[in-house]
Amino acid sequence: MLISISAVVVCILAVGGLLLAQSRGRMNPLLVEDGQAMAGSIAEKSYVDINGVKMGMVIKSENPANPVLLFVHGGPGMPEYPLTDVYTPGLEKLFTVVWWDQRGAGLSYSSDIPVATMTTTQFVADTVGVTNYLRDRFQQDKIYLMGHSWGSYIAIQAAAASPQLYRAYIGVGQISDQMTSEKLAYEYLVDHYAENGDQKTLERLQGFRFEAPDRLPAGYLSMRDAVMHRAGIGTTHAMRSVISGIFLPVMRNREYTLTEKIDIWRGKALSSSTILSHEMYATDLSRTTTRVDIPVYFFSGRFDYTVNHNLSEAYLETLTAPVKGFYLFDDSAHSPIFEEPAKVRQVLQQDVLNGTNDLADTH
């Protein structure tokens, strides 16, 4: 027994030491080919008070004179910058890219945040608040806005409410009617596991009933992500596990401290306990956000059932905007910016920065 306890203590200490070694918390500078820091580049964590909450963000840019791009992450409550060690979108080549951790998430986590402020209305206001901070800091009258998944639900509402602040809006895995999307994903999963003869998973899935118009079945989320990733229709087409594809990359990231990494998971739990997801599932943006007075671009993966790409495309068709472009990424599921970054940068450079839609699949 003493030997066993000693072995456990040694293992705990070893894991703790490894995590600390992997969590120095210092930003990696952008480098040129000879390994030297790129002159004039930015690689920093910044903190600023937005609507009464200290919010953190990572800012990276090869040239701070480049257009600013505010990235609004998914979740709710799941910052995405820590994943960029493994998935490298390279947005800093074209933009001063700002990876903002939303209210209660990651660098912006605090146990003092009132749960009553974790609402769609507040998150839209926060997006505008961060936008104005960035406009002032970088002396740019307008910036670019990109929302991914849950972030697209928030960001497109901010763009619609304050179009004078933005040059264009880019929705990645753009949400429209998420409750319908979830039902379509469920139907796909039932068919997929039936065809593959996985009776155990099939029976578990068939135990759920989508009866409420604005809520997922009780307990469904406890298995949803796992079965979606195994089927290749989750965060990325190649990702088969949230542990290997998200949790471990986050914990290995050296630019967040161990406390900041733990706060990512604390923030995820906080966001999940609020009404944010309920508000998203109860909303059909194709009915409530029908006009955006700036160019709008949607990036979707062909294998995306986390947010059904057909629904995203249909939403764009009905949306009123001066320029529109829908781009389908054939080798992606829910995260084209991570899965096909070169094509994403091509579209951003040739279409988005020029306000055109020449490369779009549909206009």
Residue with tokens 């740019």, as numbered in its chain = 140
Q: Does the pLDDT value for residue 21 go beyond 90?
A: no
Statement: residue 3 has pLDDT above 50: no
- The string of pLDDT tens digits covering residues 167-193 is 999 999 999 999 999 999 999 999 999
Amino acid found at 110: S
- Return the pLDDT at 126: 98
CB atoms within 10 A of CB 306: 25
Ordered by where they begin, the domains of the chain are 37-363 (3.40.50.1820)
Closest C-alpha among 237, 224, 203 to residue 336:
237
| pLDDT (tens digit per residue) in 265-300 | 999 999 999 999 999 999 999 999 999 999 999 999
Length of the chain: 363
Average pLDDT over residues 331-355: 98
Residue 17, H or E segment: helix 2-21
- Three-class SS of residue 42? strand
Task: Please report, for residues 91, 139, 143, 347, the alpha-carbon distance to residue 66 in angstroms, rounded to integers and kept in the order given.
Answer: 11, 11, 10, 17
d(CA 154, CA 133): 18
Q: At what angle do helices 221-230 and 178-195 cross, to 10 degrees?
A: 60
- What is the C-alpha separation between 219 and 205, in angstroms, rounded? 11
Q: Where are the beta strands (DSSP E) in the chain?
A: 42-50, 53-61, 68-72, 96-100, 143-148, 166-172, 296-301, 324-329
- Give the full edge-to-edge strand order of the sheet including 53-61: 42-50, 53-61, 96-100, 68-72, 143-148, 166-172, 296-301, 324-329
Q: If residue 6 lies in a helix (H) or strand (E), which one and from where to where?
A: helix 2-21
pLDDT tens digits, one per residue of 83-134:
998 999 999 999 999 999 999 999 999 999 999 999 999 999 999 999 999 9
Distance CA(11)–CA(17), nearest Å, equals 10
Confidence (pLDDT) at 19: 53
Mean pLDDT of 21-43: 82
pLDDT average, residue stretch 144-157: 98
Pairwise pLDDT comparison (52 vs 33), residue with the higher score? 52
Compute the distance between CA of residue 92 and CA of residue 347 in angstroms, rounded to an integer: 15
Q: What is the pLDDT of residue 213?
A: 86
- What is the C-alpha separation between 161 and 165, in angstroms, rounded? 10
Structure confidence by residue, pLDDT tens digits, 186-205: 999 999 999 999 999 999 99
Q: Residue 139 above 80 pLDDT?
A: yes
Residue 307 buriedness (CB in 10 A; 0-12 / 13-18 / 19+): buried
